[in-house]
Structures are given as C-alpha cells and as structure tokens.
A and B are shown apart, each in its own frame.
Chain A
Amino acid sequence: MIFASHEGVSSGGSVKHPAAGNGSFPATLDELPQPLTPEQLAAEWDEEQPPHAGPLANVAAAVTSAALGIAGLAMSVAMGLGTPAKPEPGLWPFIISLVMVAMSVALLAFGRRKLDAEAFSSSSWQVAAGVGTLVGFVLVVGVAGFEIPALLLTFIWLRFLGKETWRMSVLLSFAVTAAFYLIFVVALNVPIPHLF
C-alpha cells in the first residue's frame, strides 16, 4: 500500500481546469508561466483549494449519518429481524444501519479533526439558486411544456450563474432551446411535454 500515506493530507476541490479563458491567448512561449517541480505544483494546487470547514462540519455529517442509521435501525426492527436461518425483511437493513451508526460514531470520535470538508462560501448561494431553477423547471414542465422553462433556465445559468454577457446569454439560450426542440421533439420524437 504505497499510496496509503495520502490519508494524512487534507483534500479539497476536484481537479482544476482552466475553463474560463476569455479568448485572447498570448502567442509566445515566454508568456507562459514557469514550469514547477512536482512539490511546488502540489503546494500551488493546495493553495488553490477552497477553504476548509472546521471540525464542526464533520460533527454535523456524523450526526446526520448517525441519525439516518438510527432511523434505519428503528424501521428495520419494526419490519422484523427473524433469525439468520429464517431472516425477516428487516435483518439486512438492520445490519447495514448498524454499520452506519458504528462508522458515524467512529467519525465523531476519531475523524473530527480531519479537514476534508469544504466551507460554504457566498458562492454557495449560486448552487442554491441553481437548484431553485431546477425545481422551477420541474414544476413548470408538466404544465406548460419544456420550451419556456428550458429557455429561462439556460438564460439564468448563462447570465447570472455563468456571468456571460447579456447578448451572449440571450442568443445562446434561444439557440440551445431551439436545438433541444429540434433534437428531442422533431428528430427523436421523445414524449417530453412541449407547447408546439
């Protein structure tokens, strides 16, 4: 197990990606950043990690999973456990819930200090807003077809969550909705609710 030692190092975000280039790339090699040694690179990536959440995040996670496990235990017992030779439906969920509770206690007892949770920041509200648009999409799609919610969702994601320009957002959201209409309704004839 040569790689087991990563245990001790805390980790944060996923693999980084450039993504956000705005089009103008310098042409010469000299403008590129200097190459770094693996150690420097690791340090740099580590700096870019989002801030860690404190031990409280782990406590919250442990309490949540312990609560889930205890609820699982209670419901399994209600379903009936039986014996190993003649198990009732609750036996297997009971075993799993037991593992879950045990591991939650272990997390609470020994894993609290490990800083592998990420702190929520002001940009986490963007995620909440994103989820809001998804919920809105499902609420509307059954009533009014997918075109209008798709248009709005794309626009909101481009303009407000993606910080694209107004022009770009309007043009692209119409283009994307039209493309989806052509692909899913006209070409594939998928029975998604639609207006036209």
Chain B
Amino acid sequence: MDFLAPVINGFGVVLEPTNLLYCLIGVLIGMLIGVLPGLGPAATIAILLPLTYGVEPVTAIIMLSGIFYGAQYGGTITSVLLRLPGEASSVVTVFDGYALARQGKAGTALGIAAIGSFFGGTVSIIGLTLLAPVVAGFALDFGPPEYTALAMLGILLVATVSNGSKVKSIIAASLGLLLATVGRDTFTGETRFTFDNLSLADGLDFVPIAMGIFGLGEILYNLEERHNKVQAPAKVANVWPSAKDLKDSSAAVGRGSVLGFFLGILPGGGATIASLAAYAMEKKRAKNPERFGRGAVEGIAAPESANNAAATSSFIPLLTLGIPANATMAIIFGALLIQGVTPGPQLVQNDPELFWGVVNSMYIGNILLLIMSIPLVGIFVKILRVRAAILAPITVLITLIGVYTINNSLFDIWLVIAFGVLGYLMKKFGFEPGPLVLAFVLGSLLEENLRRSLLLFGGDPSGFVGRPISAVLLLVFLVVMLLPLLQKAFKKTRATAPAVTALHDEKERV
C-alpha cells in the first residue's frame, strides 16, 4: 500500500473546507472566463496571481488549475450556441455543435460535451496518478546536463508548436531568456542589465511580466473592437442526452480521452492540438464521414474529451520534470516558485500533500464542472449577454491594483504597463507571447544548469553528448530544429492541407 497511502492522504488535503472552497472558486472562474468574451485561461490566471500570495501553496494551485480546466468546459458553450469558440481548444466543437444547435438540439450537444469532458478529465487524472510517479522516479537521477537539455527542448517545442511563425517565436523566447538575466548573477554576484536602477538589482519579477504580457496585453489588444458582431445564442432545451446519443458517442469519448491524454503530455502539445487531432481521427474512422459538420455527436464527444484530457495531463511534465508544457503551465510554474515550491522530480516525494492534493482536487473540480455544465447551464448561457466593454475596465483595475498589492510598489505597476504594451505590440506583429514567458520562467534554471554542466565537464561542451539521456534529448532538439526545413522541401510537392489543419491557425487566445 506504499503507493496508495499518499494518494489517499491527498484526498484529506482536498476535503479541507478551504481547499474545497478555492476549488469551487477556481472552476467557477474558469467556466466564467470560458464563456465570457475577452480573456483566456492564461490571462486570467496571470491576473489573479496576486490573490495567491496570502494562501497555502496547495490551495493556490488547486484554484489556478481549476481555472485552467474549467475554461475547457466553458469554451464549449459559446462554440455550440454562437458558432464562436470561447477558447481555441473548442474550435472544432463549432462544426457539429452548432449544427446540432440549428436542429434544436443545443442541449444534446452541451450535454454530450459536458459528459465527454468529465470522462476525459477523469481518465486523464487516473493516468496522471499512475504515470506521474513513474516519470518522476525516472527523472530523479537527472543531473544538470539533463536539465539543460530538457529545458532547451521544452522552450524550443513550445516555440515551434505554437501557432505563429517559428522564427518569431524563437526571437520571443530569446528575449524572455535575456529578461531572465536582469539582476544579480548567481555565480559571480555581479549585476547585469540593471542600468544602475535599484529596482532592477534583484531582477525582474515573474508576476508583473506575466500579468503585463498575458493579461494587460490581451485587454489592450481587445480594445481594437474586433468583437462587434451581434449574434443570437440558440435556445437551450433539454441538456440530458438521450441513451442513443450516449451510446453513439461513448466510443468516441474513450478514444478522444486516450488520445488527449498522450498529446497533453508532450511539451508544446496541449488542449488545442488534442481537440483537432481527435476530431480528425473520428472523421477518418467514421463509416460515413459526411455526417461530420452536420451534427454528428462524435464530432463533439471526441474533441471535448480530448481537450480536457490534455489539459489535465499537461500537468505531468510540470509536476514531475519541472518543465511547463505550455503557456498556462508556465504561469502555474511561476505561481509555484512564488510559493517557494520548485516543481521537479522531488515534488512527489518531498511534498506529497501538495502533489496529491492538487491532482485529487481535479476529481472534485470535474464533478463540480459537470454539475455546472448540465443542471446549471442556463445560468451560464445568460452570462453570454455581458458585454466585453463592461468587463475591460474592471479587469484593468484588478490588474493594476493587484500587482501593486504584492510589493506595495508603484514600480511594479509601471512594469505591468510596459509589458502590457510589449504584449500588445507582439500580438500585432505576429509574435506569440507564450514562448517569451516560458523562456523567462525557465531562464535562470537553464543558465544555472548549463554553467553547472560546464563545470562538471571542465568546460568541454561535448560532455553533453557523452551522457545518454542528455544526448537523446539534444538529438530530439536538433530534429525539431531541422524539421521545418525538411518539411518545406516536401511541402512544395504536396497538395494543400485540409481545412481542419488550416483552422489550427486561429491564434490561441491566452
């Protein structure tokens, strides 16, 4: 029972009233921002970071992760009712979800999506429970060279898998790495890039950067009034799907969950890719694929299970290796660091209450979300009428006052504004903000491990190739690096890509 004891203790942590309350708050906020215009989960989590200062680490992370997977549920509602995906991961749900809504079966679509999401999420938590300790155990003997290679690979994957131009993403990532070097050099004690400014001597804080680039940048970007299309939501009647619909979609839910779980683990993967892949897979498997896009329940069930499964399993690289797989995970990583917890292989052993508390809270969160998505869905449909114009000043004030409360410093507000402008400009010029923030978070870890490795190897970089794990990781790094060039050579001879692939181009709203 060695393995199960900490898992069960984790439930004890979750069932503490405070944690239950924060779990509820988290999934509620997640569901709301999924439905509401303007902000995605990463922006919301960034803006709410100051809120986590006063609470226990486990409580904070329970809430933040609730926002993340809660948004996957909420995003579905706008996809089905308005033909507009609330989150990038719900883009494919639009096709069949909206077709069903047109046929007066919006309820069925939402019901199937909720049940699929619940199933996908739950399968993924169980997978996470079983797999995470194994991965962590494997990574326990990682030394500085392995971490160097892993961090480099993580940054590169997030940069290349993101939607924008790869070159631009790598530029953004190197800017993030450069920003991470501001302040005192941990090895020599000399200050770098501080321009004799005392406020910079201790380096830049993660919170103003994340709040600025994700939060404020997104709000400013939305100010350009792109959202002025008036649309009518479809009526929602019966949300309980019929036995036939359930039977038709059950296999798709199962396949979507498994596919989503595995795609979520990969760095740079995540909910959006998982939902696209699951949709494509279902369409390929179907006996008459022409039903897809006209109201096939599998076309909702598979991507919705997959995006929830992926959202959950993307916690595995973060909690076991200390490498965030996507932008949202980068912010949760930052939140953990603020709390004095360094995610990594030791986390499962050293801090089992935190680890299992967070993992097990997801069961509770998914149950709460299922309740919110089926019996209470009417309330959230009403929220669709709240206008973005009203929310914008409120989120701005929360951001400005929130960042001030951390250090009681006006300098931090200036930082948020500066990074907000940077975030806005990056979006305008086609640079993804995710790689920058991820690289900033991993920057000091990467430099430290690189320098330790070089000390270890006596200054000879070829030492990285001499260790099997770091050699393999670097090989993968090279392959990922060179893949686009190879593909370009092939692409010239190949026919155009199908529409689903083109849709992936929708810029991920963070």
Interface residues of A (CB under 8 A from B): 1-23, 25-27, 29, 31-39, 41-42, 45, 48, 50, 53, 57-58, 60-61, 65, 68-69, 72, 75, 79, 83-90, 92-93, 96-97, 99-100, 103-104, 106-107, 110-111, 114, 116-118, 120-121, 123-124, 126-127, 130-131, 134-135, 137-138, 141-142, 146, 150, 153-154, 157-158, 161-164, 172-173, 176, 180, 184, 190-192
| Contacting pair B505 A9 (CB below 8 A) | yes
| Contacting pair A18 B82 (CB below 8 A) | yes
Query: With an 8 A cutoff between CB atoms, is B98 at the interface?
Result: yes
Chain B residues positioned under 8 Å from A36 (CB to CB): 83
| Contacting pair B396 A153 (CB below 8 A) | yes
| Contacting pair A20 B178 (CB below 8 A) | no
Closest chain A residue to B277 by CB distance? A2
How far does the Cβ of B414 sit from chain A's closest Cβ, in whole Å?
Answer: 6
Q: Which of A23, A89, A173 contacts B385 (CB 8 A)?
A: A23
Chain A residues positioned under 8 Å from B393 (CB to CB): 153-154, 157-158, 162, 173, 176
Q: Is the interface of B mostly helix, strand, loop or mixed?
A: helix
Q: Which of B164, B273, B450 contacts A3 (CB 8 A)?
A: B273
| Contacting pair B174 A96 (CB below 8 A) | yes
Pairs of residues from A and B, 9 with the lowest C-beta to C-beta distance, nearest first:
A85-B459, A162-B389, A116-B430, A19-B37, A157-B393, A19-B227, A5-B497, A17-B37, A19-B388
Closest chain B residue to A190 by CB distance? B405
How far does the Cβ of B454 sit from chain A's closest Cβ, in whole Å?
Answer: 5
Cα separation A21 to B229 with both chains bound (whole Å): 7
State whether A21 and B171 are in contact (beta carbons under 8 Å apart), knowing that A13-B507, A164-B389 are contacts in the complex. Answer: no
Chain A residues positioned under 8 Å from B454 (CB to CB): 84-85, 87
| Contacting pair B229 A146 (CB below 8 A) | no
Cα separation A115 to B411 with both chains bound (whole Å): 36
Closest chain B residue to A38 by CB distance? B499
Closest chain B residue to A121 by CB distance? B224
Total contacts A-B at CB 8 Å = 321
Candidate in B82, B221, B224 with the most chain A CB atoms within 10 angstroms:
B224
| Contacting pair B167 A111 (CB below 8 A) | yes
| Contacting pair B405 A120 (CB below 8 A) | no
Cα separation A149 to B427 with both chains bound (whole Å): 28
How far does the Cβ of A121 sit from chain B's closest Cβ, in whole Å?
Answer: 7
| Contacting pair A93 B429 (CB below 8 A) | no
Query: With an 8 A cutoff between CB atoms, is B293 at the interface?
Result: yes
Besides the known contacts A8-B497, A111-B167, 18 further A-B residue pairs in the complex with CB atoms under 8 A apart: A3-B276, A23-B385, A29-B104, A41-B503, A69-B174, A84-B454, A84-B461, A89-B190, A89-B192, A100-B178, A103-B170, A130-B219, A134-B417, A157-B392, A157-B393, A162-B389, A164-B389, A192-B401
How far does the Cβ of B68 sit from chain A's closest Cβ, in whole Å?
Answer: 17
Chain B residues positioned under 8 Å from A75 (CB to CB): 192-193
| Contacting pair A103 B429 (CB below 8 A) | no
12 A-B residue pairs with CB within 8 Å: A7-B487, A14-B507, A16-B85, A18-B82, A35-B102, A65-B175, A87-B187, A100-B171, A120-B428, A154-B397, A158-B390, A162-B390
Which of B1-9, B87-95, B112-120, B239-247 lies at the interface? B87-95
| Contacting pair A134 B226 (CB below 8 A) | no
Chain B residues positioned under 8 Å from A104 (CB to CB): 171
Candidate in A8, A18, A93, A150 with the most chain B CB atoms within 10 angstroms:
A18
Q: Which of B101, B224, B230 contacts A20 (CB 8 A)?
A: B230
State whether A5 and B102 are in contact (beta carbons under 8 Å apart), knowing that A14-B509, A21-B384, A61-B429 are contacts in the complex. Answer: no
State whether A3 and B224 are in contact (beta carbons under 8 Å apart), knowing that A104-B171, A111-B167 are contacts in the complex. Answer: no
How far does the Cβ of A168 sit from chain B's closest Cβ, in whole Å?
Answer: 8
Cα separation A32 to B235 with both chains bound (whole Å): 10
Cα separation A127 to B421 with both chains bound (whole Å): 9
| Contacting pair B293 A31 (CB below 8 A) | no
| Contacting pair A2 B408 (CB below 8 A) | no
Q: How many residues of B contact A (CB 8 A)?
A: 116
How far does the Cβ of A64 sit from chain B's closest Cβ, in whole Å?
Answer: 9
| Contacting pair B404 A18 (CB below 8 A) | no
Chain B residues positioned under 8 Å from A176 (CB to CB): 393-394, 397
Cα separation A146 to B396 with both chains bound (whole Å): 13
Cα separation A158 to B392 with both chains bound (whole Å): 8
How far does the Cβ of B389 sit from chain A's closest Cβ, in whole Å?
Answer: 3
State whether A6 and B497 are in contact (beta carbons under 8 Å apart), knowing that A92-B450, A96-B181 are contacts in the complex. Answer: yes
Q: Which of B188, B216, B227 contacts A89 (CB 8 A)?
A: B188
Q: Which of A21, A60, A114 contacts B165 (CB 8 A)?
A: A114
How far does the Cβ of A115 sit from chain B's closest Cβ, in whole Å?
Answer: 9
Chain A residues positioned under 8 Å from B294 (CB to CB): 35
| Contacting pair A134 B420 (CB below 8 A) | yes
| Contacting pair B410 A141 (CB below 8 A) | yes
State whether A96 and B178 are in contact (beta carbons under 8 Å apart), knowing that A19-B388, A154-B397 are contacts in the complex. Answer: yes
How far does the Cβ of A39 sit from chain B's closest Cβ, in whole Å?
Answer: 4
Chain A residues positioned under 8 Å from B484 (CB to CB): 4, 7
| Contacting pair B424 A127 (CB below 8 A) | yes
| Contacting pair B458 A85 (CB below 8 A) | yes
| Contacting pair A25 B408 (CB below 8 A) | no
Query: With an 8 A cutoff between CB atoms, is B431 at the interface?
Result: yes
| Contacting pair B188 A88 (CB below 8 A) | yes
Closest chain A residue to B447 by CB distance? A92
| Contacting pair A116 B87 (CB below 8 A) | no
| Contacting pair A25 B499 (CB below 8 A) | no
| Contacting pair B459 A97 (CB below 8 A) | no
Chain A residues positioned under 8 Å from B389 (CB to CB): 20, 157-158, 161-164
Q: Which of B165, B174, B414 contacts A116 (CB 8 A)?
A: B165
